Amino acid sequence: DGVTEQLYGEIKPAVVEANYIINHMHNKND
């Protein structure tokens, strides 16, 4: 499904960035 792939392509970078920030915050708190 092209629409799903397009949506996933837009969402995935945001999810990766959010995970990076969360992990960075956890490391900072340690």
| pLDDT at residue 28 in the model | 78
| pLDDT at residue 20 in the model | 96
Sign, Cα dihedral of 12, 18, 21, 26: negative
pLDDT digits (tens, 9 = 90+) for 1-30: 799 999 999 999 999 999 999 999 988 776
Structural domain boundaries in the chain: 1-30
Task: Output the six-digit token pair for 15.
Answer: 């999810």
| pLDDT at residue 30 in the model | 66
| pLDDT at residue 26 in the model | 86
In angstroms, the CA 11 to CA 21 distance is 16
